[in-house]
Amino acid sequence: MSLSAAAVALTLSPSTAHADNRPAQGTQSGVSTAAESASVKEIRAHWTPERMRQALRNDLALPKSSQGAERSSSRSGIPPKAGARSAHAASPSTTSTTSTQFMTSAAAADEISVAQEVPYTTAPQYALVGRLFFDDPTGAPHTCSASSIVANNKNTLWTAGHCIHMGDGTGDAGWMKNFMYIPGYRDGNGPLGAWAVKTKITPNSWMESGDLKGSDYAALVLDPHPTHGNLQDRVGAFGYLFASNVTDYSDVYSAGYPGKGYNRTDFTGERMMFCYGNTVDAGPWNPLDDRLSMDCDMGEGSSGGSMVHGKNSTNPQIVGAISHHEADGNGNRISNDQFSSIHDSQAGNVIDAANAA
């Protein structure tokens, strides 16, 4: 992955697969899409239990930033500016339980920066977040985290750009492949089984230069599950709020599957973990740096996990995706801060491409 000296990305773990009759690759509105060539059957066969274990042992290094920018104090949330793109969260169609009941214990404290395990439940909302398995371009297996996001096709995930493309300017050769998603993953299992990805979408600026400040995010469109149908109908989906120059949100919930962390030795990647608190501007004195910063010690494996604003409201919305952390000159992490690229109109273009897939 080609990154500037000021940035380093979160750990991955790969595997992708798809059904037949995939859409053709294309580029629109500064966004690139690529279809998975493998069939659903091929993807399921590819991800044997042993290969999944290999992926969990093969975390990639998180993107890192050597810039220890002074950050502003947290505020209670800035109203989105005119022109912000947003969508309301969706409840599962199979139950009257709203998606806001997902992990209701998250706000037990004003801030949870030392990640805690998400209490397990078989309720559909537990599966709004899941484990993403895939292969990198060399064929090595890896993992990331991802979340269900509202889309017209009712089968879309939100994750980090570095989880689906190397971000090194290699174009088509840089796509990850053989993706398999397990919603609500826990200890090698998931309440809804495995889902194959059919379309990958990320900004051109991520593909070309690994831009951590403005474009480390992506969407993945799933094939409907043969038993469970559309993911959004089955588990619901987070809404989203994508707004330029808005970085400070309160009531933010961040969830993923870290295999490593800051001063942590207990992460295994097998259990969903969460942090809770506020996001602030990562570069308040730099008008060109509107990354979101949040206190959270999750590391490799949590890449792509969503930062969700308003988890305790009636409308939890994705405002960011776990992307990278700070590091010293030797690449060692120096704080518990985790960062997301700013999610603005370009993120809206990614959703538009997912809706059209």
Chain segment 315-332, per-residue pLDDT in tens: 999 999 999 988 888 888
Q: Which residue has the higher pLDDT, 77 or 86?
A: 86
Average pLDDT of the residues in 129-153: 96
Query: What is the pLDDT at residue 288?
Result: 78
Indicate whether 21 belongs to any domain.
no
Instruction: Show the tokens assigned to 69.
Output: 């920018």
Work out the percent of the chain whose per-residue pLDDT is above 70: 81
Indicate whether 7 belongs to any domain.
no
pLDDT bracket for residue 100 (50, 70, 90): very low
Q: Which domain holds residue 344?
A: 26-356
Kindly report the backbone phi and psi dihedral angles of residue 224, in degrees, each rounded to the nearest multiple of 5, phi listed first: -55, 145
Is residue 243 within 8 Å of residue 290, measured between CB atoms? no
Global pTM reads 0.87
Average pLDDT of the residues in 223-238: 95
Chain segment 233-255, per-residue pLDDT in tens: 999 999 999 998 899 998 999 99
Q: Which range among 12-16, 68-72, 241-245 has the greatest average pLDDT? A: 241-245
Cα dihedral 158, 198, 182, 47 in deg (nearest 10): -140
Is residue 201 within 8 Å of residue 28, measured between CB atoms? no
Instruction: Show the tokens assigned to 71.
Output: 């950050």
CA distance 221 to 241: 19
Indicate whether 8 belongs to any domain.
no
Kindly report the backbone phi and psi dihedral angles of residue 320, in degrees, each rounded to the nearest multiple of 5, phi listed first: -165, 170
Average pLDDT of the residues in 179-206: 96
Indicate whether 4 belongs to any domain.
no
Q: Is the pLDDT of residue 277 over 90?
A: yes
Chain segment 114-132, per-residue pLDDT in tens: 999 999 988 888 999 999 9
Instruction: Please count the structural domains in the chain.
Output: 1
Q: Is the pLDDT of residue 66 over 80?
A: no
Indicate whether 52 belongs to any domain.
yes
Is residue 322 within 8 Å of residue 7, measured between CB atoms? no
Q: Is the pLDDT of residue 109 over 70?
A: no
Indicate whether 250 belongs to any domain.
yes
Name the nearest CA neighbour of 32 among 230, 166, 195, 225: 166
CA distance 82 to 166: 33
Indicate whether 114 belongs to any domain.
yes
Q: Is the pLDDT of residue 280 over 70?
A: yes
Beta carbons within 8 Å of 79's beta carbon, 6+ residues apart: none
Question: Domain of 274: which CATH number?
Answer: 2.40.10.120
Q: How far is CA 224 from CA 18, 304, 341, 350, in A?
A: 10, 21, 29, 20
Indicate whether 162 belongs to any domain.
yes
